Structure 1
Amino acid sequence: MAEFDTVIRGRIVTPDGEREASVAISNGLIAGIFEADAALDARADLVLADDEVLLPGLVDTHVHADEPGRTEWEGFASATAAAAAGGVTTVIDMPLNSIPPTTTVAALRAKQAAARDQVRVDVGFWGGAVPDNLGTGELRALHDAGAFGFKCFLAETGVDEFRHLDQEQLEQAARELAAFDGLLLVHAEDAGHLHDHAGGGDYADYLSSRPDVAETAAVARVIDVARRTGLRAHIVHVSSAEVLPLLRAAKSDGVRITAETCPHYLTLAADEIDDGDTSFKCAPPIRERANQDALWAALADGTLDLVVSDHSPSTIELKTRGHDFGQAWGGIAGLQLGLPAVWTAARDRGVPLADVVRWMSANTAAFAGLADRGGIAPGIRADLVVFAPEAEFTVDAAALKHKNPITAYQGRALRGEVRTTWLRGEPIGDDHPAGELIARKDD
């Protein structure tokens, strides 16, 4: 009987960089890493092509699958197919835009029931903190039921069933979560600093309606609350470089805060957005190129911890409504394209692939408390990606696995082709969904 199930030989990407090695897999786990030419007894012995490298599967902690309730926007089947095609082996689903939102244990169970038997990669779930579930015991109940943490907004969400928190409610949520060391994820735009947008197709008008100060004011509020309560806080989708000094200072002071940014903020810029092209609409908005440079620097110095997709799709009709930035849905569909988009920009900047993998796999796994994945090392899951970093392709939205063929990356030339994605030591195929539903793990 063979000692290993599978051996994969070739270049692998570790936190220390690339090296030639043989990765041995048994029972869905990495059993060992050996020299590239090591004599190993395995049922299958695979050699990567010269243009390929082996990466750990990405962990995307910010995905809107929209099921149940809005499956015309996406759904678990299409979202996880897109994830697998993009090298993502674990996603954590946001509590909105599904109906019902994940703000009660009953809603979590409904979402798990909808996802079960459909998912091609592993899927976990965030809960939501909204005015209606504060002070009810529901946050603790969701935590105990396995929710990874709790998402809240400080401004209007865009959907009626998930309301934002005012200052008093933010304080209450922080106190409740700090009592059991729960994690609060914050959409940090301050409602008082957002300007009315009259509508229309002028992107500059839309950008000016959501100024940098809306983010800085909100982040300052979250830092203050976290400092006073001991809350673990996380700022989602940082778009404005002006929040970076606040985050650096807070981390230096020991405030328990982390932050993420997204591929669209790292690769797209305001000056390339045509008026009326609402495929680029998101909140907070895509800003100027100099701002983008600062986000890259903040990833390099650790001020920003993660890169995640914030995949927020909708129907084409809703996304292009009137080609009006006031009416169109605000969200970027990019789950399948995050890795090549970020790698293309990183490569142009001289940033090594190992850094991209760290921000999108190791750090995201650690953030979610998933110590069993996020790298290539003995004893952890064999969630792996065969990636060709120099292969080029042009984005065709119709060829993506997303349910609705519209994306801000349409027509862009990208580098990096995901050739095979492995889950627990087996290639992900189209024959049956092999993903599992996962829950937060206590330390």
Structure 2
Amino acid sequence: MPLTVSGHRVLLPGSTEPRPATLTVEDGKILAVDDGWRVSDVDAGDYVLIPGLVDAHVHLNEPGRTHWEGFATGTRAASAGGVTCVVDMPLNSLPPTTTVGNLGLKRDAANGQCFTDVAFWGGVIPGNHVHLKPLVSNGVKGFKCFLIESGVEEFPCVTEGDVRLAMEAIKDVPTVLLFHAELDNTPAPSPQPPHSSTAYSTFLESRPEKLEVDAISLITRLQQQFPALRCHIVHLSAASALPVIRAAKSSGLNLTVETCFHYLCLAANNLPDGHPEFKCCPPIRDDANRQLLWDALLDDTIDCVVSDHSPCIAELKKLDEGDIMGAWGGISTLGLGLSLLWTEGSKRGVTLARILEWTSKKTAEHAGLAHRKGQLAVGYDADFAIFDPDAEFKVTKAALHFKNKLSAYEGLTLRGRVQQTYVRGSLVYDATATEKFASAPVGILL
């Protein structure tokens, strides 16, 4: 039987403000969208009915490092924040997604575990360019590479020559090449007096903005030789790279850019020393930098916002020692992103419609899913969430649903909370229920 979903405040494509509407859902797809509220199977009432978020940058780490995170825990946590689809990064699983065989191992591990739909990025490492076209044929949405060491030995960084080989291999394929855009061209530094490994300023100085500027300058120079290929900058943190990005886009290069919740919601000025939970690569920078990233989102220089959920076990975060320099770099966010962005965006007059454009529509486009994800429209997957924009809650360990409950956001009071999340018409998360998550996973592998 068709399912009807209604609300007085429904966020439809092209609308800057929610309006009354009713959706008809059949076989997991939106069959009709009608104006006006009516009595329905699912009633959002005066909450806002929004399209499900697409988080296009998530490390789920299974198989191989499932004690860091896994498909079941990661996708459940995502659904609690209104995310209905995630795109899994090619690392830090073992093995990484760099061959068709490795992709098969990852899909086997994910099958039957996921509470959201899941798609996969592939990886570019030295010597695997011959595997890229077969990976596209087997469903990966694009490829990520590192221009600086990744932190795991099985996913080494690439040289300019490696990038050229990858670009040549996929130049005529409908895919995208993603870059961790930090490039260290500086000579070895002269010996300096020791700096405190617990000071955030020490870490910040070790990853200056110049690393991002130099990397993006190289990427855009190489891209000029392969104009049909889309390139994408992941987790931009350095505002000083924005002029290079604007120049590239103005010249017609097919370049897209993402930033992350933590770069928009946290500032280095306010980070305490001895707290490695704030370490990520590239680093969180100062408040002036943060404002420039917001400005770049608002003028479309930056295209979308993702989590870069990059968890690890507590021991690797070195919390007891407070050793920021020695800690694993990554911030866990799944389940919190929409509330974080709404809390911070509201201070700047940013509408919910604009936030959903960055976190749903544009991320779906980036991941090659725009034909089925990211909008409440006829023919699309019935992925939606019911969102209370006025609710406030404090982030506690008990409220975190990912596996290792370490978060840079613990203790913050956030505005806006997801009440329910539906994936292709099936309820997967209900904040009001005793058992908050569906008893069985409904996600599929895309």
CA drift at 1:193: 4.3
Q: Name the stretch that deviates more: 144-153 or 194-203.
A: 194-203
| Residues 193, 213 of structure 1: 8 Å contact kept | no
| Match runs of 1:170-209 below 5 Å | 170-193=163-186, 200-209=197-206
CA drift at 1:171: 1.7
Residues 178 and 5 of structure 1: CA distance in aligned 2, closer, same or farther (over 3 Å): same
Q: Name the stretch that deviates more: 396-405 or 212-221.
A: 396-405
| Match runs of 1:164-175 below 5 Å | 164-175=157-168
Unaligned runs of 5+ in 1: 439-443
The one-letter amino acid of 1:47's match is D
Deviation string 1:124-144 (CA, Å, 9 cap, x unpaired) is 11000000313xx21111111
The one-letter amino acid of 1:367's match is H
| Residues 62, 92 of structure 1: 8 Å contact kept | yes
| Residues 199, 327 of structure 1: 8 Å contact kept | no
Q: Give the Cα separation in 2 of the matches to 1:46 and 1:273.
A: 42
TM-score (norm 1): 0.94
CA drift at 1:300: 0.8
| Match runs of 1:424-435 below 5 Å | 424-428=424-428, 429-435=437-443
Q: Secondary structure at the match of 1:406?
A: coil
| Residues 95, 151 of structure 1: 8 Å contact kept | yes
CA drift at 1:329: 0.5
Aligned residue in 1 for 2:19: 19
CA drift at 1:36: 2.1
Structure 1: 4+ residue segments shifted above 3 A: 193-199
CA drift at 1:192: 2.1
Deviation string 1:209-249 (CA, Å, 9 cap, x unpaired) is 10111000000000011111223100000001111111111
The one-letter amino acid of 1:148's match is K
User: Cα RMSD (Å) of the superposition?
Assistant: 1.6
CA drift at 1:13: 1.3
| Residues 194, 210 of structure 1: 8 Å contact kept | no
CA drift at 1:325: 1.6
Q: Secondary structure at the match of 2:248?
A: helix
Please point out which of 83, 88, 104 is paired with 2:99. Answer: 104
The answer to whether the aligner puts 1:222 opposite 2:219 as a matched pair is yes
Aligned residue in 2 for 1:372: 372
Aligned residue in 2 for 1:84: 79
Deviation string 1:8-36 (CA, Å, 9 cap, x unpaired) is 23211133221122222222122222232
CA drift at 1:181: 4.2
The answer to whether the aligner puts 1:338 opposite 2:337 as a matched pair is yes
Structure 1 vs Structure 2: percent identity of aligned residues? 46
Unaligned runs of 5+ in 2: 429-436
Aligned residue in 2 for 1:441: none
Q: Secondary structure at the match of 2:41?
A: strand
| Residues 396, 411 of structure 2: 8 Å contact kept | yes
The one-letter amino acid of 2:116's match is V
Please point out which of 38, 42, 47 is paired with 1:46. Answer: 42
Q: Secondary structure at the match of 2:171?
A: helix
The answer to whether the aligner puts 1:160 opposite 2:148 as a matched pair is no
Aligned residue in 1 for 2:347: 348
Q: Relative to total residues, which structure has the larger helix share, 1 or 2?
A: 1
Q: Name the stretch that deviates more: 429-438 or 53-62.
A: 429-438
CA drift at 1:320: 2.5
- Between Structure 1 and Structure 2, how many residues are aligned? 429
The one-letter amino acid of 2:346's match is R
TM-score (norm 2): 0.93
